[in-house]
Chain A
Amino acid sequence: MKNLLKITLLVVCVVGVYFLSKIIFKTDVPTITYKKQDNQITSYQSTPEELAKINQNKPVKRTPASSNKKIPKSEHRNWERTLSSELLKFQENNTKVIIQDLEILTLMDKGRPRFAQKIIITYLYPNNRQSGATALVDLENGKIIRVWNRTKHEDLNPKANQLTPTNL
């Protein structure tokens, strides 16, 4: 009986130390840049230059008593990889995408809870241009549910986007 108690105490201590160390030494999930290179999607920890391009200091909705809270990045990022691949699928090589987390939400879809995350998507193009938007993404499949707040560019040469029909 005594031995059993000792073993139980030992197990409790070990487990406690393990979880405590996870809390104490918890490291932030780094921001990842997804880049299209040689028609493949590569990913790496975002460089300081890339992080400078996105507004890292963007807090949550301001409240009268708020402080600059950092949103913890969820550790399971499969949805991010899926989404980034989709976002870069039709872009030219050397285009990058960075995703910033905002809030996690639970939506009800025909009576079924659906876990979604508000994010900011930023495209970094090879010509130094960048575009962004706020989006709601389904965390189960990485698909975008809704997009809004897209960048408004004021191009002085908008004719560059025109097309030619093939049935004339």
Chain B
Amino acid sequence: MMKNNRYAHILIFSFLLILEGCISNSGKGKRTVNGQVVNNSSTVDKFHGRVLRDNPVILSGNYNLPADTKIGKYLLHAQDYITSNNTLVGSCQDITDINNPCYRVYQDQYSPPLISSDYKWAFPAETLEFNQVHTFYHMGRLIETFQANLNTYYKLLHLDSFGSQKTPSYYTSIPYSLYAELGHWGSLTTLQGYSNSDVENNSSFSPSDFSIHMGYLKKYPQVKMVHDPSIIYHETGHAAINVLLNLRNTAHGSNADPLYESELGYLQYDEGGAINEGLADYFAYTINKRTEFSEWALGLLSLSRPLSEDSFLHIPGISTDPAERLSYPAYLTYDPNEPGVVFEEIHVSSMIITHYLVALTEDFMNKCYLSKPNAIAYVHNVISETLAELGDLTSTGNSNPAFTVNLSSPYSHDFARVDGSINYFNFSQTLARKLLTMYASGNRCNGYNYSKDNIETLLDAYGLLLFSTYNDNGGNAVTGHLGTNTSITPSNRLKAVTIPKSKIKLVSGDGLVSGFIFDDRTEMQNALKNLTGSLQATEISPYIKSSLPRNNGNGKVSPGELVGIAFNLFNSSNTDMGGIQLLANDWDHMKNDKPCNTFEDNFPQSAEGAADSSAEANPSLVPGDCNYITRTLGNEANEDLYPVCMVEIGDDDATKWAGQEKLRQKLGLEPHLCLSGDATKTRDCFVRILKGADHAWFAKINANKSWEDSAPRAKDKNTPAFNYSNIIFFEVSEHIHPGTTFNCRMRVRFSNCSDCFTDTARSDLDNYLDYEYTGNRPYKIINFQFVVTD
């Protein structure tokens, strides 16, 4: 009996063994079902899974692929290495602690991490798990490439063949302490990727918590942004840009910790934002090396972007011929998907930078005989140097001890926001200087030199040879004009045209609108909601109630209102103007509450209340003089920055212009009733400009046209379409007597300006020094007067 039982056991055991083999072999044996790869644990090895290697359009070769396509059919048999951890956490250079990883992915913010108990990462393609694995894989591709390029360049700069420290061959913005201070991945730890954020038509990068969120298409909810890897690269690219911009703020060595961090782009539209988007698209290019961006997700909505003139997305007439490149500022508002329509949007204006960087890559390949990956690495090095310098809030800029950027610490963050904001001029100039330093000599371009002529001709083909010198000596108040600056070769400037600032002015004349006024209650409530909700404006007067009861929509400035004004600027030159920035932030134009009349506008007259500057030297070195410009944003003794708006005060003898504090005193208004609500802040007692909405940007003004006539059109096609970034927002006190006249003295500049950044009064055509951007000389002054009506 016992012997029989034993045989029965053996038989049953053998049967089960055979059965198990059949079941477990079923997947491996059937790796496809109906021609589609079966993507599950049984079809992959440990640590592996499968992802879409590219977006479905590229994988299928079908540019008309419908949105309801099952993406699983584009999985390959070949497996992809995912991770050796059991959750989706990734390491990078010197960041290997899986409890504090370099990057990780979640489905969304509510879900726990995806855990693979068998360390296998294969899931059916339409699942949330697949999306996470796929996102993780592609984030990793970009991060690894980014870190590898940065590390290789760092070693080249700072380490000899034995791994010991050496002196770099040139002044560099990449500090030796980069890795010791963990500046190679920012001040925050882990880049979190959320593959299935519940937001429609949206992806985002959040630098405050270092995360990327990827949503879905509203029109086709089954299409997730992550299904198009170029979008993952783009968003991860924003993270990389943030790291580079703050490289020297993180790895600041013995310099004081800057407290804050740099941003590239502040408003709905500005050139910093456009450059940021262009760089992010270029980061996508560094991985897939294609000349189109997001053929699938954005392509379904006809929003795919070209990255090179070679792209089929472009209209005829655009090519890689130098005369037909996508040049600045002509193509700032050009969208190939709707070529006849004017767009003022950062993803449209970004294309000039992306096209330039792709062209630079190809130029490196041709001139320095580099492979594409190596050429991309070289461009990556230049971008790293450029951003590290421009974003430096320690103000040191690079290893040249005489060189400074962003005014001086601790004023650098305030300075960089408006007066020193990044635009196409200073970005191109800095990038050019880096190219010159890094590759134009010493045979450092793969044993060759990438010549100064190469640098300048390519920039010029893109209309970006906007500068006269390379500003080698920086912007320091003491050293910024010392030494020699490298000048451009004038004959290389064939396409880029610069315009004197005298050619921009405010529209004026009968029947013409010099300022578009926005005071409709609902629209201003929405504006406040957006401005405060995006944290662009954070200091609203306590006397401006959320219901905006005083907003009457009468198209005039009335007491108690929140008013927006878009100033209608006119370009009187024969060339398009690009990157127009109107500054309404506080600046150095008044002394002791009296307006200085030492500027080009000669306003006001001495008899009209101007400060007495008759005894001053010009320029003056005495703080407190009209002819002295503050070096520290008004933090020296006797120096202050004043709000732009001054007020007309009737005197016994005459009418004079004065600061608003004078009016407050005359009216006997208690200081705490000023708009700030702070009794110590009375300079903008009656008319105050919202900080954060105190500068406006306009993408382009066509030759001999106003912005009104150059701007994108509203739905009615007759009026301009306004973005919040076109508008300066004013708080108006309810204590103003109707009939009071204000004059707001603002400043304007633009990127292709011949004398807004270049001091043409100097024979060496050096840049203005940083502190001068707090004054008048780099700008055209725009005076706008209005009467407060009842």
The residue that A167 contacts in the complex, of B190, B201, B516, with Cβ under 8 A, is B516
Contact of B259 among A105, A154, A158 (CB under 8 A): A105
Please, how many angstroms separate the alpha-carbon atoms of A62 and B648 in the complex? 54
Which one of A86, A123, A162, A167 lies within 8 Å of B517 (CB-CB)? Answer: A167
Question: Known contacts A164-B714, A165-B555, A166-B518; is A156 also within 8 Å of B303 by CB?
Answer: yes
Complex contact A150–B535 (CB within 8 A): yes
B538 touches A147 (CB 8 A): yes
| B189 and A58 form a contact (CB under 8 A) | yes
Which of A3-11, A26-34, A129-137 lies at the interface? A129-137
* Of listed B197, B534, B566, B724, residue having the most chain A CB within 10 A: B534
Instruction: Of the listed stretches A15-23, A49-57, A71-79, name the one at the interface; the rest are far from the partner chain.
Output: A49-57
The count of residues in chain B whose C-beta lies closer than 8 Å to any C-beta of chain A is 84
The listed residue (B261, B515, B525) touching A134 by CB distance below 8 A is: B261
A128 to B554 Cα, complex, angstroms: 36
Beyond A134-B261, A152-B205, A162-B722, whether A61 also contacts B187 by CB under 8 A is yes
Q: How far is the CA of A144 from the CA of B263 in the complex (A)?
A: 18
- Give chain B residues whose Cβ lies under 8 Å from the Cβ of A162: 714, 721-723
A-B contact count, CB below 8 Å?
189
CB pair B534–A167 under 8 Å, yes or no, is: no
Cβ 8 A contact of B209, one of A95, A120, A167:
A120
Residues in A with CB closer than 8 Å to B298 are 156
CB atoms of B301 and A156 under 8 A apart: yes
Q: How far, in whole Å, are A49 and B266 apart by their CA atoms in the complex?
A: 30
Are A158 and B345 within 8 A (Cβ)? yes
Q: In the complex, are the beta carbons of B534 and A131 less than 8 A apart? A: yes
Q: How far is the CA of A161 from the CA of B527 in the complex (A)?
A: 8
Q: Tell me whether A161 and B723 are in contact (CB under 8 A).
A: yes
Is A157 within 8 A of B201, CB to CB?
Answer: yes
Q: B202 near A154 (CB under 8 angstroms)? A: yes
Choose from B198, B347, B525 the contact partner of A154 (Cβ within 8 Å): B347
| Distance, CA A144 to CA B518, complexed state (A) | 26
- In the bound complex, residues from chain A placing their C-beta under 8 Å from that of B261 are 134, 148-149
A113 touches B (CB below 8 Å): no
The complex places the Cα of A149 from the Cα of B536 at a distance, in Å, of: 11
Min CB–CB distance B132 → chain A (angstroms): 16
* Cα–Cα, bound, A128→B518 (Å): 29
Q: Are A92 and B202 in contact (CB under 8 A)?
A: no
Q: How far is the CB of B717 from chain A (nearest CB, A)?
A: 13
Contact digits for A34-67, partner B, Cβ 8 Å, 1 yes 0 no: 0000000000000001001111011101111000
> CB-CB < 8 A to B266: which residues of A?
150
Q: A58–B202 Cα gap in the complex (Å)?
A: 24
- Give me the interface of B with A, judged by CB distance under 8 Å: 99-100, 109-110, 180, 182, 187-190, 192, 197-199, 201-211, 217-218, 234-235, 238, 242, 250, 259-263, 265-266, 268, 273, 276, 298, 301, 303, 345, 347, 413, 513, 515-520, 523, 525, 527-530, 532-536, 538-540, 546, 553-556, 564, 566, 692, 714, 719, 721-724, 727
- In addition to A150-B208, A150-B536, A166-B519, 9 A-B residue pairs with Cβ atoms within 8 Å of each other are A123-B535, A131-B206, A132-B209, A133-B535, A150-B207, A152-B265, A156-B217, A163-B724, A164-B719
- 11 interchain pairs, CB-CB under 8 A: A53-B110, A125-B533, A129-B199, A132-B206, A144-B538, A144-B539, A146-B413, A149-B263, A161-B268, A164-B520, A165-B722
Q: Ordered nearest first, which 3 A-B pairs have the shortest CB separation?
A: A167-B555, A165-B516, A149-B207
